[in-house]
Amino acid sequence: MAKIKLYLYVSTLITAFSSASFVFAEASWEPLFNGKDLSGWRATDPSKFKVEDGLLIGFQNDGKGADLRTVDEFDHFELKFRYKRTEKGNSGIWFRQFYQFDLLDMMPVTLSGAFYYPKCPTTFVWKNVDESLEKTNEWNEGQIYANGNRIIFWLNGQMLGDETLDPKVHRISKSGSIGVQVHGGDAFKGMQVTFQKIDIRSLNPGDPPSTPVSVVCEQEPK
């Protein structure tokens, strides 16, 4: 009987600890966009970004682009964001100074989810040519894992690439701000990219990635 009571006690402790760990892990995500204003961000051209109805919107109507970047810098992290974009447009999420999760339609070259890296010999570390993964003018879920030299992207739950960057091939950047790009060019006049959320959580070197979001919100957020 004593052994049974001890077993039940230990099992209860393990369950409680596991639950607490789960709650802690979930609580470690922090919003970069507060849904109210652009506190913690700075723009190269403030006229290209606005907060409206709890959404962060980037746009351009004059052919001139701009970047909106966080004041803080980040090294090892996971980032998840819910966005939608107009069909005509070119945007992306900057991280580690010059790495980018592309948000665009540049077929036949690539679609959203390409890993853009301007110093890479081929411009892209990887591309996405699967037209079924993203829905234009509807909500999509993107996720970035950046831990050391290992980078992983997901789009709507689908892994797009998992690469450990080679210092012999790539210019390695260890940290940098998180940014939203509005690409310049007359071809993109009238473009708009909208974010409902941009959340981040810090990682320790070697921490594994979390489970990516696989459910797409196809309705306007309440």
In this structure, the answer to whether residues 90 and 103 fall within a common structural domain is: yes
For residue 126 the two structure tokens come to 């990887």
The range of the structural domain enclosing residue 69 comes to 32-202
Tens digit of pLDDT for each residue in 111-161?
999 999 877 667 899 999 999 999 988 999 999 999 999 999 999 999 999
Residues 14 and 41 in one domain: no
Name the one residue in this structure whose structure tokens are 């003018």: 137
In a domain, 216, yes or no: no
Are 189 and 103 within one domain? yes
Both 127 and 54 in one domain: the answer is yes
Judgement on whether residues 48 and 10 belong to the same structural domain of the protein: no
Q: State the distance between the two ends of the chain, measured CA to CA, in whole angstroms.
A: 54
- How many structural domains comprise the chain? 2
Q: Domain check: are 17 and 46 in the same one?
A: no
CATH number at residue 128: 2.60.120.560
pLDDT tens by residue, the chain, 222 residues = 544 444 444 444 444 434 333 333 443 899 999 999 999 999 999 999 999 999 999 999 999 999 999 999 999 999 999 999 998 889 999 999 999 999 999 999 999 999 998 776 678 999 999 999 999 889 999 999 999 999 999 999 999 999 999 988 888 888 999 999 999 999 999 999 999 999 999 999 999 998 875 544 444 444
> Do 159 and 54 share a structural domain?
yes
Strand partners, 100: 94, 116
